Amino acid sequence: MKLLIDFFPILLFFGAYKFYGIYAATGVLMAATVLQMGLIYAIDRRLQTMHKVTLVLILLFGTLTLLLQDDRFIKWKPTVLYGAMALALAVALWGFRKNFLQILLGGQLALPEPVWRRLNVAWVAYCLFMSAINAYVVVSFSTEAWVDFKLWGYIFPVAFLIGQGVYIAPHLQNDEPSS
């Protein structure tokens, strides 16, 4: 169910683009993201910072796209989002000596400190990669190619999350007493 909630805005965006174009798709994405955040809030009774940032950026860049009738704004939103995430994670880790991943997920995952540090660095690298690849597609290809990339480009986060799970699994600390 959570996976469906996570992916339905991009699927609706893709469908709306194919039938009605980029501006209708942008409006659909904005509405679907508001609905998505409402569902997440109804389930979890709160929105995480990442959810709030994503919602604000989609509404901001979507509004600019629609008001100015310029699709560059919605196409650059992922580059800005991923770049901001990379910057925030890097500044927190190396500037303030804080590991946001550990702060956010430490209550759910018991991992050794060096593993948390490597995960944070991996997230910085991943976000920089995603920011750069989106920017490359925006400047090098058509809007239609960018929309296709947005749909099929979900292989990157899926592969990253699977790789992260494989990396984390042997490091999980078991809280159960050994017999």
Question: Which among 62, 80, 76, 83 is positioned nearest to 146, based on CA atoms?
Answer: 76
Burial class of residue 16 (count of CB atoms within 10 Å of its CB; 0-12, 13-18, 19+): buried
Question: Which among 1, 10, 62 is positioned nearest to 32, based on CA atoms?
Answer: 10
Report the pLDDT value the prediction gives residue 179, as an integer from 0 to 100.
Answer: 47
Q: Tell whether the model's pLDDT for residue 178 goes beyond 50.
A: no
Q: How much is the pTM?
A: 0.85
State pLDDT tens for residues 109-168: 888 999 999 999 999 999 999 999 999 999 999 999 999 998 888 899 989 999 999 999
Structure token pair of residue 9:
């805005």
What's the rounded Cα separation, in Å, for the pair 46 and 70?
A: 33
Report the pLDDT value the prediction gives residue 3, as an integer from 0 to 100.
Answer: 64
Report the pLDDT value the prediction gives residue 105, as an integer from 0 to 100.
Answer: 81
For the chain, the structural domain boundaries read 1-68, 71-174
State pLDDT tens for residues 86-101: 999 999 999 999 998 8
